[in-house]
Amino acid sequence: MAIRLRPFAIGAGLVLSLLLIGGGYPRLGYALFLAVLTGFCLSTSLSLNAQIGIGALLAVLFGVIPGSGVEIVHVAGRVFIAMLKMLIAPMILLSISTGIAQMGEARALGRMGVRVVALYLLTMSFAVATGLVLVNLVRPGAESTLRETPFFSEAVGTQATNLAGDLSLGEFLLQTVFQVLENPLVSLTEGRILPIVLFAILLGLALIQIGPRGQNLVELLLAGYAVVMKIIHWFIRLAPVGIFALIGHLVATIGFQELAEHLLEFSLVVIGGTLFQALVILPLLAWVLAGVGPVELLRGIREALVVAFSTSSSVATLPVTTRCVEDNLDVPPSVSSFVLPLGATVNMDGTALYEAIAALFVANIYGIDLGISGQLVIFLVAIVTAIGAPGIPSAGMVTMIVVLESVGLPGEAVGILLTIDRFLDTFRTMANVEGDTVVAVCTARSIGPSARATP
Ligand code: ASP
């Protein structure tokens, strides 16, 4: 009985909300509509991707109907972004500190740990550099007239003061040093990311150093990390409602066509950059550093790439990634069991590349020139936040807010990116997984056959 009641209640609620909206009670109508949409999302067996697609489609439909009044749902979008922001600081602290603390075995594996971390940083630096070059060449969103609409112009006012007086490189570096050396408790409560990252790295390293004495704290941090992941999972289940509210407001206030054109241009730049990383940079690294040819590499990991594309989760792909590198690319379990699980949460080439391009795209739309120091901040913050992002669907959606705010862009602009985040997540997850496999292959080759024989 309860099963039949639910679709009936959802259908009746939908009709009633539309009647209220059309009958001149938009506040009540949209409140009911959001409640119905939430009930639908929490009870349907449709995939999250499909639900987000439905939310976005409905938002565009309402948005293009003149006088639909959908812009008043904006507040629900702001609540959704606030929910995501709420978790950024604990997520980054716990993800990085537990990631490093668990590298305890890296010490036992000698220089391998250092080499692996260096390779993670190398592949991510290439990814962000590729993204920045491409976005500077194509300049998606630069021709936009959207900045003249009220949605954008309010934020531009604030932004101009934030970036006023572009600093020299020396001043910028000095300022960054002081910003990073902040009391960790203050930065945690105020959500300042760079000091949190530094503290998380120090915490992780200290935990490795003190060995068994720190075991209880490691367990506690790991439990905390699992809890934060669970809450993110709950919040992301509400993404279709949040996305409906954000897109509905956006389309109703700035129109659909121009936004769609710029988003298409942006998506093409992201896909182009991701493919360049996946088909040129990473295979080249595997070839130069490990002597594994591009065809051998891509053929060996193709199953993992397909799973990454369909799950949008590096962590969920992990079993397949491990089987691919061990069976097809001759990576010993002693290497894969260390490099891949750590890489699934730490090494994110696709995410770093995406975040760099997305930040400059938003700046272009707002008509803001970030200058060299702004782009340098993006370079660093994109890598740092990609390291801090967990390997789950839409993690980049959460950390994107940090990248935007690091250069003074309004975090709310993430609403523009959310429209196509799930689609682009599939591509960036593939590059994330491929990056891990390349690091595994390079590490396996560098330690030589004798070392490989002894786990
Ligand atoms: N979905 C990505 C991954 O699991 C993370 C992200 O959202 O960028 O690798």
Nearest ligand 1 atom to the CA of 315 is: 4
pLDDT of residue 148: 65
Asked if residue 455 has pLDDT above 50, the reply is no
Asked if residue 453 has pLDDT above 50, the reply is no
Mean pLDDT of the chain: 85
352 CA to centre of ligand 1 in angstroms: 10
395 CA to centre of ligand 1 in angstroms: 5
Biggest CA pair distance of the chain? 78
Out of 392, 397, 414, 434, give the residue to mutate to test ligand 1, the one with the largest number of ligand atoms within 8 Å of its CB.
392
Whether 77 is in the pocket of ligand 1, judged by its Cβ within 6 Å, is no
The structural domains of the chain, with segments of one domain joined by +, span 89-149+159-210+255-451
Q: Label residue 107 by pLDDT band (50, 70, 90).
A: low
Asked if residue 17 has pLDDT above 50, the reply is yes
Give the residue among 317, 309, 334, 335 at the shortest CA–CA distance from 438.
Answer: 335
Whether 390 is in the pocket of ligand 1, judged by its Cβ within 6 Å, is no
Whether 429 is in the pocket of ligand 1, judged by its Cβ within 6 Å, is yes
Nearest ligand 1 atom to the CA of 344 is: 9
Whether 394 is in the pocket of ligand 1, judged by its Cβ within 6 Å, is yes
432 CA to centre of ligand 1 in angstroms: 7
Nearest ligand 1 atom to the CA of 316 is: 4
The neighbour count for residue 148, using CB atoms within 10 Å, is 11
Out of 353, 432, 433, 434, give the residue to mutate to test ligand 1, the one with the largest number of ligand atoms within 8 Å of its CB.
432
Out of 229, 309, 314, 414, give the residue to mutate to test ligand 1, the one with the largest number of ligand atoms within 8 Å of its CB.
314
Nearest ligand 1 atom to the CA of 432 is: 9
335 CA to centre of ligand 1 in angstroms: 23
313 CA to centre of ligand 1 in angstroms: 5
382 CA to centre of ligand 1 in angstroms: 13
In the DSSP assignment, the letter for residue 250 is H
Give the residue among 257, 171, 441, 170 at the shortest CA–CA distance from 331.
Answer: 441
Q: Label residue 425 by pLDDT band (50, 70, 90).
A: very high
pLDDT of residue 66: 84
User: HSE (CB half, 13 Å, CA atoms) of 116?
Assistant: 29
The neighbour count for residue 91, using CB atoms within 10 Å, is 23
Chain centre to alpha carbon of residue 339: 21
Q: Label residue 254 by pLDDT band (50, 70, 90).
A: confident
What's the rounded mean pLDDT across residues 349-374?
91
CATH architecture, domain 89-149+159-210+255-451? Orthogonal Bundle (1.10)
Asked if residue 169 has pLDDT above 70, the reply is no
Q: Which long-range contacts (CB under 8 A, 24 or more apart) does 49-52 make?
A: 49/312, 49/422, 51/239, 51/240, 52/239, 52/240, 52/243, 52/422
Helix and strand tally (H, E) in the chain?
22, 0
81 CA to centre of ligand 1 in angstroms: 18
- Give the pLDDT confidence of 301-343 residue by residue, as tens digits: 999 999 999 888 998 898 899 999 999 999 998 888 888 888 8
pLDDT of residue 389: 84
69 CA to centre of ligand 1 in angstroms: 34
**Reduced to 3 states, what is the DSSP secondary structure of residue 244?**
helix
CB 322 within 8 A of CB 437: no
